[in-house]
Amino acid sequence: MNAMGNKEFIQNQQQIEAILSKAQFLRLALSDSDMPYIIPMAFGYKDNKIYLHCSREGKKIEILNRNPRVAFEADAEAEIITAGDICKYNVRYRSVVGNGQAKFVEDYNEKVEGLTVLSEHYGKKGPFEFVEWKVNRLCVIKIEIEEMTGKQHGF
């Protein structure tokens, strides 16, 4: 136990996936030379892969073209624990951090799979009917996870 309380590291894959299933957003961290760049994104997770979608243009795309190595963070059930003494405030949370390789998905069927995973993450029930020209306009990014761990505090 340290001054901020007991932090429990989570290695169990099912517990990590449960945290991801409750997370509303994922923060994607990129590296452009010596300058970090982080952006919150909607996401879906399945089979050790994270799927994202976005425009085909922009800073994130430019950086990923130069360096596909990424890190990510997602949290769930986060809240500030208040107390009469400001020094006793704390944070309760469950989080997942990891890293991997980002790849641009070009195959139509794989794009549909990624968009389905993303839609299901936000509670939509398939099967889905996607309009091919709209799918083809989207950029779908697949992160092949290399390492992922979880942590919780205050539970």
pLDDT tens sequence across 10-39: 999 999 999 999 999 999 999 998 899 999
Q: Which residues of 78-106 are buried (b: 16+ CB within 10 A; e: fewer)?
A: eeeeeeeeeeeeeeebbbbbbebebeebe
Sketch the domain layout of the chain as residue ranges: 7-153
pTM reported for the whole predicted model = 0.90
Q: What percentage of the chain reaches a pLDDT higher than 90?
A: 82
Per-residue pLDDT of 96-124, as tens digits, reads: 999 999 999 999 999 999 999 999 999 99
Question: CATH fold of 7-153, please?
Answer: Pnp Oxidase; Chain A (2.30.110)
Greatest Cα pair distance, the chain, in angstroms, is 57
